[in-house]
């Protein structure tokens, strides 16, 4: 695993790694990002929320995006970035799958979906982080950006 | 640590003590298999003790929901016991906390099946 520091641009890179499309990668990325979140100063509860969001995102990338294809990778980047007066932990997880439309993802809180077996991952990622963005990366791939403010009280 | 399941009988109620992590893969499949086996054997009153569950992801939540509906479809009842704060929070934000009958005390939970 490659850990590196990049201080000259103002952003501090805590992790930059390519993972194979396996469930082991989910555990490994979660552990690496939990470590990075701890080093960035997040308390235990915040680390837990960040870890859960990362787990859900990695599962989506490995299972739904790359469909366990061993020729496809999941790229994970973690930075501490300054935006104005804010300092954020920014996690970018990119798969090499066919992508999806956010508007077509059913609302897991809707009465008719409450008892569905699956479909809560994206919702939980949004609930546990301060910001979440999803964008397509040409030619094939989806990048999810998860942002947690340092010192944020959102739960 | 992955998940560990221990099943015991208290009167006509089957208690499953779960510990560890209920996450996609071994954890969620172990819970799914246990609930399917019990319902296939005709157990209709099942109490899932989650007091030692440190972590549940969306896959684990899915297994709780599937277990709930599987048991109900067989004419039985699945109840939850001893949620940690994190698991309780998770069920609340997913609006599932009120779907399940949740208990904090085992004796009280056991008695509730007779009601």
Closest-CA distance of chain B to residue A84, Å: 31
The pLDDT score that the predictor gives to residue A12 is 81
Q: What is the CATH topology of the domain spanning B4-112?
A: Transcription Regulator spoIIAA (3.30.750)
pLDDT higher than 50, residue A2: no
With cut-offs at 50, 70 and 90, classify the pLDDT of residue A154.
low
Of A109, A117, A155, the CB nearest to B65: A117
* Strand-pair partners of B13: B10
Strand pairing category for B13-22 and B4-10: antiparallel
CA distances from B69 to A72, B65, B72 (A): 36, 6, 5
Q: What angle do CA A62, A63, A68 make, to 5 degrees?
A: 70
- Report residue A85's pLDDT band, with 50, 70 and 90 as the boundaries: confident
Q: Domains in chain A, start-ordered, CATH in brackets?
A: 12-149 (3.30.565.10)
| Range A108-117, long-range pairs (CB < 8 A, 24+ positions) | A108/B94, A109/B94, A109/B95, A114/B65, A114/B95, A114/B96, A114/B99, A115/B65, A115/B68, A115/B69, A115/B99, A116/B62, A116/B65, A117/B62, A117/B63, A117/B65, A117/B66
Mean pLDDT within A83-112: 92
pLDDT of A50 strictly over 90: yes
Which chain A residue shows the shortest CA-CA distance from B63?
A117
Cβ–Cβ of B57/A59 closer than 8 Å? yes
Q: Does residue A7 surpass a pLDDT of 50? A: no
User: What pLDDT band is residue A151 in, cutting at 50, 70 and 90?
Assistant: low
- Domain boundaries in chain B? 4-112
Name the residue among A23, A55, A115 with its Cβ closest to that of B65. A115
pLDDT of residue A41: 92
Partner-chain contact B62 A127, CB within 8 Å:
no
Walk along chain B (115 residues) and give the pLDDT tens digit of each residue: 589 999 999 999 999 999 999 999 888 999 999 999 999 999 999 999 999 999 999 999 999 999 999 999 999 999 999 999 999 999 999 999 999 999 999 999 999 999 7
Q: Supply the pLDDT for residue B26.
A: 87
Number of A to B CB contacts under 8 A, please give it.
Answer: 46
Can you spell out the DSSP letters for chain B?
A: ---EEEEEEETTEEEEEEEEEE-TTHHHHHHHHHHHHHHHTT--EEEEEEEEEEEE-HHHHHHHHHHHHHHHHTT-EEEEE---HHHHHHHHHTT-TTTS-EES-HHHHHHHTT-
A chain contacts of residue B66, beta-carbon cutoff 8 Å: 117
Interface probe for B, chosen from A118, A122, A127 (most Cβ of B below 10 Å), is: A118
């Amino acid at each position: 695993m490659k850990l590196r520091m990049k201080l000259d641009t103002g952003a501090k890179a805590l992790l930059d790694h390519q993972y194979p499309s396996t469930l082991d990668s989910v555990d490994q990325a979660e552990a690496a990002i939990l470590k990075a979140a701890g080093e960035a100063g997040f308390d235990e509860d915040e680390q837990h929320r960040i870890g859960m969001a990362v787990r859900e995102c990695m599962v989506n990338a490995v299972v739904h995006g790359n469909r366990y294809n061993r020729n496809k990778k999941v790229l994970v980047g973690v930075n501490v970035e300054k935006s104005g007066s804010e300092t954020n932990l920014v996690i970018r997880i990119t798969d090499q799958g066919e992508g999806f439309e956010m508007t077509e993802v059913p609302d897991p809180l809707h009465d008719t979906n409450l008892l569905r077996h699956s479909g809560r991952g994206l919702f939980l990622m949004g609930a546990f982080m301060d910001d979440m963005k999803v964008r397509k990366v040409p030619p094939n791939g989806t990048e999810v950006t998860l942002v947690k403010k340092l010192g944020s009280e959102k739960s | 640590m992955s998940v560990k399941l221990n099943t015991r009988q208290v009167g006509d109620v089957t208690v499953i003590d779960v510990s560890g992590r209920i996450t996609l893969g071994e954890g969620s499949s172990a819970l799914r298999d246990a609930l399917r086996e019990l319902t296939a054997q005709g157990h209709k009153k099942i109490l899932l003790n989650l007091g030692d569950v440190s972590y549940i992801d969306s896959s684990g939540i899915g297994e709780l929901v599937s277990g709930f509906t599987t048991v109900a479809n067989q004419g039985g009842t699945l109840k939850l016991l001893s949620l940690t704060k994190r698991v309780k929070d998770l069920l609340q934000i997913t609006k599932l906390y009120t779907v399940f009958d949740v208990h904090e005390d085992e004796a009280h939970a056991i008695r509730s099946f007779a009601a």
